[in-house]
Amino acid sequence: MQPPLYVKGLESDGQTEPIELRKLSRSSDEGERFSESWLQKLVDRNPRVLPIAELDEARFVDAITRNLRRGRRILLLVVGDGIREGAETLGEYLQLHAGFHIAFGLVEMPVFELPTGGDLVQPRVLARTVNIEHGIFVEPAPKSLMVRWPGPDDSPFSLGGCNQNGGFDTETVNWRANDFDLLDLAHEHLEGLARLVGGAVRKTRTPASWYVVMPDGKPPSAMDILQRRDDWIKLIPEYGGKLNKELQTRAA
């Protein structure tokens, strides 16, 4: 369940195979396996760690499991009184796992015995806590994504489309229809889109520039349209069928 990356570089024999993280216990040579239940016990014993009056154990465990599985929002601290040199390579190893998003810190806490009794702990930060960068692949996208209906001579009619800002452009519905003197059908389709999103058609002085707006006067977003996806899909062939019928009538 846990990402197998925590102890790379910590092994004294030079092996590179990652092993399961273990919480070493002073009272047990075998140690205790790291688990969500162990974290729950830690929080229960130390209320200042998470100052919540009543902690929902189920949600706590689910959150830990989910974040470990996704490799996200993890704070990884290596703290000890004698950190070996190989531990510094852990940060480099984390960089190899592009999917993880980890804040990492390396803290050495040597313990000195005082002549008068007691111990003196002197924390030293060997590696600053940093966010280990995770790789993100972004596939190049077109400037817009237009929805079109086939027209004559391979010249499609626009049905609107999504722009780079997440908006849904409807003014383009008029353009090709205007070339064929079919603005009445384009305006009818705009009215249908307006009813779909609970908006209205903004009727400018130029009929070929009419477009749909929401009640706040702004154009609809792509999500406004997609929330009524099924109804929108029905509108498309209705408009396309009327275009085809009119064009066929003229051709005859």
Q: Are strands 111-113 and 74-80 parallel, antiparallel or unpaired?
A: unpaired
Residue in 119, 175, 111 with CA at minimum distance from that of residue 149: 175
Q: Which residue has the tokens 């949600």?
A: 59
Q: Inform me whether the pLDDT recorded for 12 exceeds 80.
A: no
Mean pLDDT lowest among 25-29, 96-100, 152-156, 244-248: 25-29
Q: Inform me whether the pLDDT recorded for 129 exceeds 60.
A: no
Q: DSSP for 23-72?
A: EEETTEEEEEE--HHHHHHHHHH-TTTS--SS--HHHHHHHHHHHHHHT-
Find the angle CA(107)-CA(108)-CA(112) to the nearest 5 degrees. Answer: 145
Mean pLDDT lowest among 23-37, 200-214, 222-236, 238-252: 23-37
| Residue 24 confidence (pLDDT) | 34
| Residue 126 confidence (pLDDT) | 75
Could you tell me the two tokens for 124? 């030293």
Q: What is the mean pLDDT of the chain?
A: 75
Q: What does the pLDDT look like over 56-66, one tens digit per residue?
A: 777 777 777 77
Phi, psi of 24 (to 5 degrees): -75, 140
CB 41 within 8 A of CB 61: no
Q: DSSP for 170-196?
A: -TTHHHHHHHTT-HHHHHHHHHHHHHH
Kindly state the average pLDDT of the residues 29-39: 48
Residue in 189, 184, 170 with CA at minimum distance from that of residue 236: 189
Q: What does the pLDDT look like over 84-96, one tens digit per residue?
A: 666 656 666 666 6
* Nearest-10 Cα torsion for 204, 174, 140, 69: 80
- Identify residue 199 by its one-letter amino acid code: G
- pLDDT above 70 coverage of the chain, percent: 60
Q: Inform me whether the pLDDT recorded for 3 exceeds 50.
A: no
